[in-house]
Amino acid sequence: MLDLVWLIPGLPALAVLINGIFGKKYLKTKTHYLAVGSTGLSFVISCIIFWQVAFNHQTADLVLYEWIMAGALSANFGFLIDPLSAVMIITVSGVGFLIHIYSVGYMHGDGGYHRYFTYLNLFMVSMLILVLADNYLLMFVGWEGVGLCSYLLIGFWFHKKSASDAGVKAFLFNRVGDAGVLLAMFLMFVHFGTLDFHYIFSHTDLISTQTATIITILLLLGVTGKSAQIPLYPWLPDAMEGPTPVSALIHAATMVTAGVYMIARSNALYLMSPTAMTVVALVGAATALVAATIGLCQFDIKRVLAYSTVSQLGYMVMACGVGAFVAGIFHLMTHAFFKALLFMGSGSIIHALSGEQDMRKMGALRPHMPRTFWTFMAATLAIAGIFPFAGFFSKDEILWQAFSNEHGHWVFWAIGAFAAGLTAFYMFRLVFMTFFGKSRVDREVAKHLHESPSVMTIPLICLGILSIFGGLVGVPAALGGKNRIHSFLAPVLGGGHHEANVVSQGIAHASEAVHGTGAHAAAAAHHSLYLEWFMMALSVTIALIGIFVAYHMYIRNPSIPEKLAKKFNVLYKLIFNKYYVDEIYDFFIIRRTKQLATILWQWFDVPIVDGMVNGTSKFTVFQAKLSALFDVNTVDGAVNGTSVIVKNWAKNFKFFQTGLVQNYALVMLFAVFIIISFYLFF
Amino acid sequence: MVPLSHYLMFGAVLFFIGVIGVLTRRNAVIILMSIELMLNAVNITLISFGHFLHNVTGQIFAIFVIAVAAGEAAVGLAIIIEVFRGRKTLYVDEINIMRW
The contacts of residue A297 (CB under 8 Å, 6+ apart) are A565, A572, A575, A576
Between A611 and A524, residue with greater pLDDT: A611
Whether residue B31 lies within 8 A of chain A, CB to CB, comes out as: yes
**DSSP labels for A19-71?**
HHHHIIIIIGGGHHHHHHHHHHHHHHHHHHHHHHHHHS---EEEEEEEEEEET
Residues 440-459 of A with CB under 8 A from B: none
Q: Is residue B15 part of a domain?
A: yes
Question: Strand ranges (DSSP E) for B1-97?
Answer: none
Q: pLDDT digits over A379-435, tens only?
A: 999 998 888 888 888 888 888 888 887 777 888 888 999 999 999 999 998 998 888
Distances (CA, A) of A477 to A55, A332, A499, A507, B99: 21, 20, 8, 8, 134
Q: Which residues of A touch B23 (CB under 8 A)?
A: 662, 665-666, 669
Partner-chain contact B96 A660, CB within 8 Å: yes
Instruction: pLDDT band for A485, please (50, 70, 90 cuts).
Output: confident
From A74, A59, A65, select the one nearest A192 (Cα to Cα): A74
Inspect the interface and report whether the beta carbons of A659 and B93 lie closer than 8 Å.
no
pLDDT of residue A527: 55
Residue A649 C-alpha, separation from nearest chain B C-alpha, in angstroms? 13
Q: Please state, in angstroms and rounded to a whole number, the distance separating the CA atoms of residues A620 and A615.
A: 8
Select from B23, B97, B99 the Cβ nearest to the Cβ of A662.
B23
DSSP letter at A232?
S
Span A632-653, mean pLDDT?
89
- Residue in chain B nearest A662 by alpha carbon: B23
A62 forms beta bridges with A79
Q: Around Cβ A192, how many Cβ atoms within 10 Å?
A: 18
Average pLDDT over residues A367-378: 88
pLDDT of residue A515: 41
A87 contacts A54 by C-beta, under 8 angstroms = no
Confidence (pLDDT) at A557 = 78
> Which chain A residue's Cα is nearest to B24?
A662
**A662·B100 Cβ contact <8 A:** no
Angstrom distance (rounded) from CA A352 to CA A451 = 6
Q: What is the CA radius of gyration of chain A?
A: 37
Q: Does some domain include residue B100?
A: no
In a domain, B51, yes or no: yes
pLDDT at position A443: 77
Q: Does B98 touch chain A (CB under 8 A)?
A: yes
Three-state SS sequence of A243-307: CHHHHHHHHHHCCCHHHHHHHHHCHHHHHCCHHHHHHHHHHHHHHHHHHHHHHCCCCEHHHHHHH
- Give the bridge partners for A70, in sequence order: A73
Position A254 pLDDT exceeds 90: no
| Residue pLDDT, tens place only, A141-168 | 999 999 999 999 999 998 989 999 999 9
pLDDT digits (tens, 9 = 90+) for A255-299: 778 999 999 999 888 888 888 999 999 999 999 999 999 988 888
**Backbone conformation region of residue A385, classed left if phi is above 0, alpha if psi is from -120 to 50, else beta:** left
- Asked if A660 and B99 come within 8 Å (Cβ–Cβ), the reply is yes
- Peptide bond preceding A231: is omega within 30 degrees of 0, i.e. cis? yes
Q: Which of A662, A664, A672 to mutate to test the interface with B (most CBs of B within 10 A)?
A: A662
**Binning pLDDT at 50, 70 and 90, where does residue A27 land?**
low
Q: What's CA A29's distance to the chain center, in Å?
A: 28
Question: pLDDT tens digits, chain B, 100 residues: what are they?
Answer: 789 999 999 999 999 999 999 999 999 999 999 999 999 999 999 999 999 999 999 999 999 999 999 999 999 999 999 999 998 998 998 888 888 7
The whole-angstrom separation of Cα A383 and Cα A427 is: 8
pTM, 2 dp: 0.74
A18 in Cβ contact with A34 (< 8 Å): yes
Residue of B nearest to A658 (CA): B99
A655 contact residues in B (CB cutoff 8 A): 100
Cβ–Cβ under 8 Å, residues A368 and A349: no
- Residue A453: cis peptide before it, omega within 30 degrees of 0: no
Burial class (CB in 10 A: 0-12, 13-18, 19+), A65: exposed
DSSP A69: E
Q: Does B85 touch chain A (CB under 8 A)?
A: no
Residue A446 has pLDDT above 80, yes or no: no
- In which domain, by residue range, is B66 found? 4-94
**Is residue B85 in some structural domain?**
yes
Distance of alpha carbon A608 from alpha carbon A603, whole angstroms: 8
> Given B19, B22, B93, which is nearest A660 (Cβ)?
B93
Contacts of A654 in chain B (CB under 8 A): 100
Give the distance from CA A388 to its chain's centroid.
31
Please, what is the Cα angle at A420 between A251 and A563, to 5 degrees?
A: 95
What residues in A contact B31, CB-CB < 8 Å? Answer: 662
Reduced to 3 states (helix: H, G, I; strand: E, B; else coil), residue A60 is strand
How many Cβ contacts (< 8 angstroms) between chains A and B?
Answer: 31
- A73 beta partners: A70
Q: How far apart are CA A682 and CA A666, in angstroms?
A: 24
pLDDT in tens, A315-371: 999 999 998 888 888 999 999 998 999 999 999 888 888 888 888 888 888 888 888
Residue B73 within a domain: yes
For chain A positions 648-667, those within 8 Å of chain B (CB to CB) are: 654-655, 657-662, 665-666
Interface test with B, best of A653, A660, A666 (most B CBs within 10 A): A660
By the CB < 8 Å criterion, does B19 face chain A?
A: yes
Q: In Å, how far is A642's CA from the nearest CA of chain B?
A: 21
Average pLDDT value for residue range A584-613: 87
Give chain A positions within 8 Å (CB) of B96. 658-660
d(Cα A588, Cα A94) in Å, to the nearest integer? Answer: 42
Q: CA dist B57 to A217, B43, B51, B60, Å?
A: 128, 12, 10, 5
Query: Tens of pLDDT along A80-136?
Result: 998 899 999 999 999 999 999 999 988 888 888 888 999 999 999 999 999 999 999
Contact B95 A658 (CB under 8 A): no
Residue A135 DSSP label: B
Model confidence band, residue A500 (pLDDT cutoffs 50, 70, 90): very low
In whole angstroms, what is the distance from residue A614 CA to residue A641 CA? Answer: 38
Residue B99 belongs to some domain of the structure: no
Number of domains into which chain B is organized = 1
CA distance A505 to A493: 20
Query: Bridge-partner residues for A61, per DSSP?
Result: A80
Q: In this complex, do A665 and B23 lie within 8 Å of one another by their Cβ atoms? A: yes
Residues of A in Cβ contact (< 8 Å) with B22: 662, 665
Beta-carbon contacts of A428 under 8 Å, excluding residues fewer than 6 positions away, are: A380, A384, A546, A547, A550, A551, A554
A617 contacts A276 by C-beta, under 8 angstroms:
no
A261 vs A456, residue with greater confidence? A261
The total number of residues written for chain A in this structure: 682
Say if CB B66 and CB B78 are below 8 A apart.
no
Q: Cα-atom radius of gyration of chain B, to the nearest Å?
A: 17
A350-364, A436-450, A627-641, B82-96, range with the lowest pLDDT: A436-450
Q: Which of B79, B80, B90, B93 to mutate to test the interface with A (most CBs of A within 10 A)?
A: B93
**Beta bridge pairs of residue A63:** A78
Write the residue in A658, A666, A669 that is nearest to B96 by C-beta: A658
Q: Is A670 on the interface with B (CB under 8 A)?
A: no
Among A330, A319, A322, smallest CA distance to A87 is for A330
| C-alpha to C-alpha distance for A470 and A395, rounded to whole angstroms | 13
CATH code, B40: 1.10.287.3510
ipTM score: 0.87
Nearest chain A CA: its distance from B64 CA (Å): 24
- CB-CB under 8 Å, A659 with B23: no
Q: How many CA atoms lie within 13 A of A485 on its CB side?
A: 26
What is the distance in angstroms between the Cα of A678 and the nearest Cα belonging to chain B? 20
The confidence score (pLDDT) of residue B71 equals 97
Collapsing DSSP to helix, strand or coil, A569 comes out as helix
Cβ–Cβ under 8 Å, residues A425 and A340: no
- In a domain? residue B23: yes
Residue B36 forms part of a structural domain? yes
